[in-house]
Structure 1
Amino acid sequence: MIAIYPGSFDPITLGHLDIIERGDRLFEKVIVAVLCNPSKSPIFSLEKRVAQIRRCTQHLPNVEVASFTGLTTDYARQRNAGVLLRGLRVLSDFEKELQMAHTNKTLWDNIETVFLATSNEYSFLSSSVVKEIAKFGGSVDHLVPDNVAEDLYQWYKVHPPQVSPPTIMPTPQPFIEG
């Protein structure tokens, strides 16, 4: 069976890679489908994200990386995929993903959603967290594949955050009667 693992992957994290590797063991083929989402403003282009993921999944022969626009169910139907693969970190992910799974089922009755619980070491991890750390000069080497860490460091070197200098408040003077 073919599974689609859709997402914006801006950037791909080790948590995403963990889901891809585990999905690779469960399905005959996993298509990592990088979504072009007009409601998001990614730091990396669609082409760059596809290239990043291809590089860090090249050791997985049953994984294909592609991009798409539109509805995930339409893309799954085009690719003859019967499963949408999704990772769950926390309870709030489950609520959102369950709603999406039910919605997808109304769009195409032949699609199933398979949820994989994120491995413990990645349960806190999101692309947003990674970008926030990298933006302010923190190390993300332990959170993303090496090639992605380099791309992040380079991106924030060229696009440093606009940080206002801290406001220094005057020290309050003690009240002295007299």
Structure 2
Amino acid sequence: MVPHRLQPRAAAALGLSAGTVRARIRELSRLLRADLEDATVQAHLLLVLRAPASAEIPEGETGAAPARLETLPDGILDTEAVRAWAHGLVGGLEPHLRIALACWLDHHARTAPAAAELHVHRTTLSNWLAQCAEHLAQNLGDATVRAEVHLALRATRTGPDDPAALPRRGGRTYRRL
């Protein structure tokens, strides 16, 4: 859950070496059987870590299949409170910004591969992300913010946030709606 570029800060905060943090993250990833660099996994971990503690369930009474970080239980994001929160966070984003932000998050917050998938220049994508950060009044460099935005985009999605849906005017030229 700690991207490689943030590991030195995590190591300093924990009083550990960067190598120890990397080793522990790899071990945690193995134990959870999940890619901790994946935006969806990070968002789901954020939900788990922020969920209120509940009464313990006696052993053997769960009656459910083992939980996976890649999937959420059906309907967990389908509540009025979640929709209101999500709309408050990402509501009003223009479609091209929403698509660009979702694509960037799907590429682990890496600009070059996201720009390639969107068929726009890296500078264009960086400018769009700056517009997103300004609209959201959030620092997209923060992993927690990215996880929250990922969940909000997912909760407010009305169709696929597909890079192919980006309006075009011939070639790589983007056209505003």
The interval holding the TM-score normalised by the smaller chain is under 0.3
For normalisation by structure 1, the TM-score amounts to 0.22
For normalisation by structure 2, the TM-score amounts to 0.22
* Structure exhibiting the larger radius of gyration computed from Cα positions: 1
